[in-house]
Amino acid sequence: MPGDNTPATIDSTFVVFDARGQATPIGVTPGLWDELTARFGDFSGKLLVSSFHFEQDWPTWECHPHGDEWIGLLSGDFDLRMDLPDGHDGPRSVRLHKPGAFVIVPKGVWHTAKVRAPSAALFVTPGQGTLTRPVEQYETAGRAAADPAATAAPPSLSSLRLNQVNLVRRDFDASLAFYRALGIEIVESPRGADGIRHAKARWPDGLQLEFDNEVLARFYNAAWRTGEGKRQGRSRVVISITLPMREAVDQRYAALTAAGYTGRQCPFDAFWGARYAIVADPDGNDVGLTSPLDAARRTWPPVTSPASLSSST
């Protein structure tokens, strides 16, 4: 408020610096990440200054292909692990346990944290093209790359992760009202002139419940655009399973459809940055096969997915 001289805190406010050094404060809210995307796009030429508190090992590895990341300890004790390329003479693990200690993660190096005690850290991150993948999937993908035969085998349970459930809504507003009445905090994305509506809720373990209107469903699921899809019955629930890498999406889709399961959507590069496909289970429920997100592959406005079924309306 005017006249209030109370300074913002790093816990409640992040700051984005552009290429000219201009700083833009961003309040930390449940819709923070959607707001960052809406305002700064792919984060080209920008830095994000942020702080995070974490009590458990990071569930993901991260990689920033457009610059080094600075990480400074505020409190706690954790090991910053880096998957450095062969021949690199830097440390592969740095313990941060004294407030003020910091580490610089080189550009393009995958890194994660193993927590010894509840910790808080400050991050200066070049956000453009940031990549993430779950820890267990990263390790599985590495093994598969070393063993070509492993890529053809079905992924083990440890390499699969239930990460998302999408609900395709007839009445979008009524649906959000119901789930909010249950006590779920839902953030809706900004509406566009294209008629697309989307909202999401996130749980601390990373699971996401997402809401799509039928306009959006037609962009990523060919079955929503075809006469064949109508006859088969359109599922209004999509259960998404993350696979270790982009190639695994095509491999699993081919294996499942060859075994006689119905393909709703053939593999394609989705506008949100993942390789994506949909197969129906025996009861007609849609199961999404998705790769880890690659921010560098995001596009907007969305491009309609390729047709997967023979007839269309």
Q: What is the pLDDT of residues 106-117, one digit of tens each?
A: 988 889 999 999
Which of 140-144, 172-176, 241-245, 294-298 is predicted least confidently?
Answer: 140-144
Return residue ranges of the chain for CATH 3.10.180.10. Answer: 153-297
Cα-Cα-Cα-Cα dihedral sign, residues 32, 35, 39, 45? positive
Local structure of residue 310 (DSSP, 8 states): S
- What CATH number does the domain located at 153-297 have? 3.10.180.10
Burial of 308 (0-12, 13-18, 19+ CB in 10 A): buried
Give the whole-angstrom CA distance, residue 226 versus residue 26. 43
- Scanning 100-171, the segments in alpha helix (DSSP H) are 135-146, 148-152
Instruction: Flag whether pLDDT at 200 surpasses 60.
Output: yes
The arithmetic mean of pLDDT across residues 33-51, rounded, is 86
The arithmetic mean of pLDDT across residues 123-144, rounded, is 67
Local structure of residue 177 (DSSP, 8 states): H
- Tokens linked to 168: 């395709």
Q: How confident is the model at residue 87 (pLDDT cuts 50, 70, 90)?
A: low
Cα–Cα distances in Å, from 283 out to 232, 233, 234, 254, 280?
11, 10, 12, 20, 8
Instruction: Flag whether pLDDT at 143 surpasses 60.
Output: no
**CB count, 10 Å around CB of 128?**
19
Task: Reply yes or no on domain 13-129 having CATH 3.20.20.60.
Answer: no
Give the whole-angstrom CA distance, residue 220 versus residue 216. 7
pLDDT digits (tens, 9 = 90+) for 187-197: 998 876 678 89
Q: How confident is the model at residue 312 (pLDDT cuts 50, 70, 90)?
A: very low
Instruction: Flag whether pLDDT at 139 surpasses 60.
Output: no
Burial of 69 (0-12, 13-18, 19+ CB in 10 A): buried
Q: How confident is the model at residue 13 (pLDDT cuts 50, 70, 90)?
A: very high
194 near 211, Cβ under 8 Å? no
Give the whole-angstrom CA distance, residue 87 versus residue 68. 19
The arithmetic mean of pLDDT across residues 233-254, rounded, is 86
Instruction: Flag whether pLDDT at 309 surpasses 60.
Output: no
Dihedrals φ, ψ of 88, to 5°? -75, 130
Instruction: Flag whether pLDDT at 48 surpasses 90.
Output: yes
Q: How confident is the model at residue 156 (pLDDT cuts 50, 70, 90)?
A: very low
Give the rounded distance of the alpha carbon of 61 from its chain centre: 12
Cα-Cα-Cα-Cα dihedral sign, residues 60, 159, 165, 207? negative
Q: Decide: pTM greater than 0.75.
A: no
Local structure of residue 135 (DSSP, 8 states): H
Return residue ranges of the chain for CATH 2.60.120.10. Answer: 13-129
- The confidence score (pLDDT) of residue 65 equals 84
- The confidence score (pLDDT) of residue 49 equals 95
pLDDT mean across residues, the chain: 81
